[in-house]
Amino acid sequence: MRVGYVRCSTAEQNEARQLKMMEEQKVEKIFIDKASGKNTDRKDFKAMMAFVRAGDTVIVESISRIARNTKDLLTIISSLTEKGVEFVSLKENIDTTTPHGRFMLTVFGALAELERESILERQREGIKIAKAEGKYKGRKPVAVDEAKFRAVCARWRAGEITATAAMQEVGLKANTFYRRVKELNL
């Protein structure tokens, strides 16, 4: 069976171009995710991996659609190979049934990982510049009644309640709770 895997990073992105390619490839079953490719924790990706059987071929528009880092890509290809499933990436013209195809897959996987890391680096640089210019201030702090927070912390420090109970009372997660404790020197 010819199995297609389509992925867009966000719900706003359109998968029409990838779906057209799948139609042209006469794909019989398509799995679609609208999620980041930073890891393999994607609903339809997992369903596709469970679905494919020996003799099937997984087809993707490009390797960046199935994985964003070399380790994940090679793990995916290894899993497919163990199942007797072929892998084809249209953009890079990669077919894992050949040694040349397997070599090219490794090279392109490394390039996809480099691209993702470059995007993240540019994003961090942009945020740093925006912060320096006063245009980016991060998330707004969680609003907490300071008097109630101090009272709950006093009970916690006195051993009357656990830290978990204190966090529940003030409605904060652990990292925010402890950061506030530190900021207020409690």
Active-site residues, by number, are: 9
* Half-sphere exposure in the Cβ direction for 87 (13 Å, CA): 29
Residue 34's beta-bridge partner residues? 8
Tell which phi-psi region holds residue 138, choosing left (phi > 0), alpha (psi between -120 and 50) or beta. left
Cβ atoms within 10 Å, residue 180:
19
Beta strands, E only, 14-73: 29-34, 57-60
Distance CA 66, CA 181 (A): 43
- Give the residue among 67, 71, 1, 3 at the shortest CA–CA distance from 38: 67
The torsion angles phi and psi of 180, rounded to 5 degrees, stand at: -65, -40
